[in-house]
């Protein structure tokens, strides 16, 4: 089983290289390569999750060099669960993006550039989840940065290049800080293996431990878009093509949250920064949700809710209890799926109406009832309406907080409740303006009229940027694979509700393993696992 661990990293890289070699030719073959690769990654992830849950962490040593000098890839319950959910999401988004490219009658550029970059980013996500040492985690973040920058600036429009420049600067600064943290950790302990660091940090003076912890925590706070390091996200994500925005929203910030979980549970258990994390969680929830309420664009509203709900996950991590960590892991799984599906629906709205501005939308309930349903279900899930998984995740976190008690924790619990109510208000207001109310007379053309052109067989909404920097392609009928991929993710979010019991048990076993630390450390340092 250990031989399967590198597959989620190596297979997308090999597929990306093959697609770059093919170039713009054989588009159907290229599509088949992408879908087959991601389906194989999903199957591998499921196998790793079953094995890790049944027998403990699995370890693969690159080149046969055992840890600590060698590079270890570790699949425990947390990494395998994150890998499985991310694989399902990336497969659906790939199907969506391929359908969009074909329906828009694009030339070779999307397959020759967009999808290889997409696969490189998927490999970076997988590497981050499986990485067993700090420097390899740094490499994974750099893979993410390189692939996501291409996706963010795809088409070369002014807004995308500007957003991409901001994103790249933030990423590079945090990467430099990450290298500083790795250097300090290595200088103090003589290793970058996370399993060995978990043992050696306990013997260091408190001030050195705190210095390394705060340095690494700042890096991951930026990556996860936690307040006050979250201002870059709402201005960057909405400018990207719909598939890229959905993938960014679902996965990239969660890699930062995953790293914080590893940092606090494995390297610095019971550290002194829990109060700092709780304060950051509260501010992230409130600042993000107040921003969401004030928005008049579907994508920007979703971007602010994305920031806001990161606070729930940080709250669970800061509690440092089994119940808190279990709730945080459950909420990460839920949020990856629901937030991605909502951004895909935003892409469907943009295709159907030519815009995501709420001032120009209206009447979509009558004109596109299926899109209306696909938005309504995950929106209610995000808001935490019973008995959906969003409600179950929030309930688990609130119960974990009440069990801990204390003025600061109770303040966080109140913040969770307020954030949930304001999220409901934000998504309900968006639903009302985009789907329920009647459109204004001056936007009737965007709500359903197909504007034919002599040069282009499909209508193009005026003055709006699309996947290649031209106007957005609009049409009365949305391609079935785009609807199907979105519906699959919406159904997956509902699936978490149906199987909430087994998923809750799995996240609790995950939290117990994280806080125990011994299974992870012994698997990495005790001969490489099974």
DSSP 176-217: HHHHHHHHHHHHHHS--BHHHHHHHGGGS-HHHHHHHHHHHH
Q: What is the pLDDT of residues 252-283, one digit of tens each?
A: 889 999 999 999 999 888 778 889 999 999 99
Q: How many angstroms separate the CA atoms of 439 and 62, rounded? A: 58
Percent with pLDDT over 90 in the chain: 53
The strand pair at 459-465 and 72-75 is best described as unpaired
Q: How confident is the model over 86-91, as a mean pLDDT?
A: 95
Number of other residues whose CB lies within 10 A of the CB of residue 188? 18
Q: Is residue 530 part of a domain?
A: no
Check whether 244 has a pLDDT greater than 60: yes
- 133-168 pLDDT per residue, tens: 999 999 999 998 888 888 877 665 667 777 777 788
Residues contacting residue 432 through CB under 8 Å, at least 6 positions apart: none
CA separation for the pair 277, 2 (Å, rounded): 35
| 28 vs 361: CA distance, rounded Å | 35
Q: Average of pLDDT values for 8-16? A: 93
Strands 58-61 and 72-75: antiparallel
**pLDDT for the residue numbered 449:** 40
**Which among 193, 505, 127 has a CA at the least distance from the CA of 513?**
505
Residue 53, pLDDT > 50, answer yes
pLDDT over 70 (residue 251): yes
User: Does any domain span residue 325?
Assistant: yes
Dist CA 249 CA 251 (whole Å): 6
At 440, the pLDDT band (50, 70, 90 cuts) reads: low
Local structure of 131: helix, strand or coil = strand
- Predicted confidence at residue 463, as pLDDT, reads 37
Residue 31's pLDDT is 85
Mean pLDDT in residue range 99-117:
64
Quick one: pLDDT band at residue 233, thresholds 50, 70, 90? confident
DSSP codes joined into one string, 67-110: TTTS-EEEE-HHHHHHHHHHHHHHHHHHHHHHHHHHHTT--SHI
**pLDDT score, position 20:** 82
d(CA 82, CA 80): 5
Question: Is 441 a residue whose pLDDT tops 70?
Answer: no
Reported as type and span, the H/E element at residue 264 is none
* C-alpha separations of 64 from 4, 179, 193, 445, 447 in Å: 14, 26, 16, 62, 59
Whether the predicted pLDDT of 444 surpasses 80: no
- State yes or no: pLDDT of 526 exceeds 80: no
For residue 437, give the 3-state DSSP assignment.
coil
Q: Is pLDDT above 50 for 222? A: yes
Q: Which residue has the higher pLDDT, 357 or 330?
A: 330
CA gap 325, 76 in Å, rounded: 15
Three-state DSSP state, 376: helix
Q: How many CB atoms lie within 10 A of CB 159?
A: 15
Instruction: Note the pLDDT of residue 234.
Output: 82
Question: For the segment 173-208, what is each residue's pLDDT rounded down to a tens digit?
Answer: 889 999 999 999 999 888 999 999 988 888 888 888
Domain range enclosing 470: 2-523
pLDDT of residue 427: 95
pLDDT tens digits, residue range 408-439?
Answer: 999 999 999 999 999 999 999 999 999 988 76
Q: Is the pLDDT of residue 240 over 60?
A: yes
Residue 281 lies in a domain: yes
- Helices within 7-76 (DSSP H only): 7-22, 27-55
What integer pLDDT is reported at residue 448 of this predicted model?
40
Structure tokens at 157: 């429009």
Residue 529 resides in a domain: no
What is the model's pLDDT at position 446? 41
| Separation of alpha carbons 245 and 151, rounded Å | 9
Report the SS3 class of residue 290.
Answer: helix
CB hemisphere CA count around 387 (13 angstroms):
7
Q: Which tokens in the block code for residue 286?
A: 């409130």
Q: What is the pLDDT, as a whole number, of residue 461?
A: 38
Q: What is the mean pLDDT of residues 245-258?
A: 89
The residue-averaged pLDDT of 451-477 equals 43
**Residue 304 covered by a domain:** yes
Q: Judge contact between 337 and 303, C-beta under 8 A.
A: no
Tokens linked to 166: 């901001």
- d(C-alpha 133, C-alpha 74), whole Å: 9
For residues 472 and 299, which has the higher predicted lDDT (pLDDT)? Answer: 299
What band does 354 get if pLDDT is binned at 50, 70 and 90?
A: confident
Number of domains in the chain: 1
In a domain, 528, yes or no: no
Residue 493 domain flag:
yes
């Amino acid at each position: 089983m250990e031989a399967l661990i590198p597959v989620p990293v190596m297979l997308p890289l090999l597929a990306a290289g093959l697609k770059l070699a093919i170039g713009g030719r054989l588009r159907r073959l290229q599509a088949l390569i992408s879908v087959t690769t991601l389906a194989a990654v999903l199957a591998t992830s499921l196998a790793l999750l079953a094995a890790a849950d049944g027998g403990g962490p699995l370890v693969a040593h690159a080149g046969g060099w055992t840890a600590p000098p060698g590079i270890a890839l570790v699949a425990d319950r947390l990494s395998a669960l994150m890998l499985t959910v991310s694989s399902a999401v990336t497969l659906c988004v790939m199907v969506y993006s391929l359908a969009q490219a074909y329906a828009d009658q694009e030339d070779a550029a999307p397959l020759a550039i967009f999808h290889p970059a997409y696969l490189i980013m998927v490999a970076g996500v997988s590497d981050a989840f499986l990485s067993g040492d700090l420097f390899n985690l740094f490499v994974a973040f750099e893979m993410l940065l390189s692939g996501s920058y291409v996706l963010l600036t795809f088409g070369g429009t002014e807004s995308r290049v500007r957003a991409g420049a901001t994103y790249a600067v933030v990423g590079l600064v945090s990467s430099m800080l990450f290298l500083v943290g790795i250097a300090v950790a290595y200088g103090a302990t003589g290793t970058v293996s996370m399993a060995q660091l978990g043992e050696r940090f306990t013997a260091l003076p408190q001030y050195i431990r705190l210095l390394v912890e705060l340095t690494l925590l700042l890096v991951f706070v930026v990556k996860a878009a936690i307040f006050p390091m979250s201002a870059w996200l709402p201005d960057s994500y909405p400018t990207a093509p719909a598939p890229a925005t959905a993938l960014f929203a679902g996965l990239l910030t969660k890699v930062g949250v995953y790293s914080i979980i590893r940092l606090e549970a494995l390297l610095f258990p019971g550290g002194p920064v829990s109060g700092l994390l709780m304060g950051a969680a509260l501010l992230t929830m409130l600042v993000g949700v107040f921003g969401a309420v004030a928005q008049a664009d579907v994508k920007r509203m979703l971007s602010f809710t994305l920031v806001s709900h990161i606070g729930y996950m940080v709250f669970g991590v800061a509690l440092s209890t089994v119940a808190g960590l279990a709730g945080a892991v459950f909420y990460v799984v839920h949020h990856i799926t629901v937030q991605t599906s909502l951004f895909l629906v935003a892409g469907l709205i943009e295709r159907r109406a030519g815009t995501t501005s709420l001032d120009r939308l209206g009447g979509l309930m009558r004109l596109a009832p299926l899109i209306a349903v696909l938005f309504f279900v995950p929106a209610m899930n995000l808001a935490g309406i019973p008995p959906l998984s969003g409600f179950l995740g929030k309930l688990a976190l609130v119960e974990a907080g009440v069990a801990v008690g204390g003025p600061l924790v109770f303040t966080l619990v109140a913040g969770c409740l307020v954030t949930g109510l304001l999220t409901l208000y934000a998504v309900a207001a968006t639903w009302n303006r985009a789907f329920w109310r009647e459109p204004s007379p001056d936007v009737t053309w965007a709500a359903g009229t197909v504007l034919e052109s002599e040069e282009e067989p499909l209508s193009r909404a005026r003055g709006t940027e699309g996947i290649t920097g031209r106007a957005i392609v609009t049409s009365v009928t949305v391609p079935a694979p785009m609807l199907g991929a979105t519906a699959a993710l919406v159904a997956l979010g509902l699936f978490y509700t149906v199987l909430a019991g087994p998923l809750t048990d799995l996240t609790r076993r995950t939290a117990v393993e994280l806080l125990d630390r011994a299974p992870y450390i012994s698997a990495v340092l005790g001969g490489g696992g099974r």
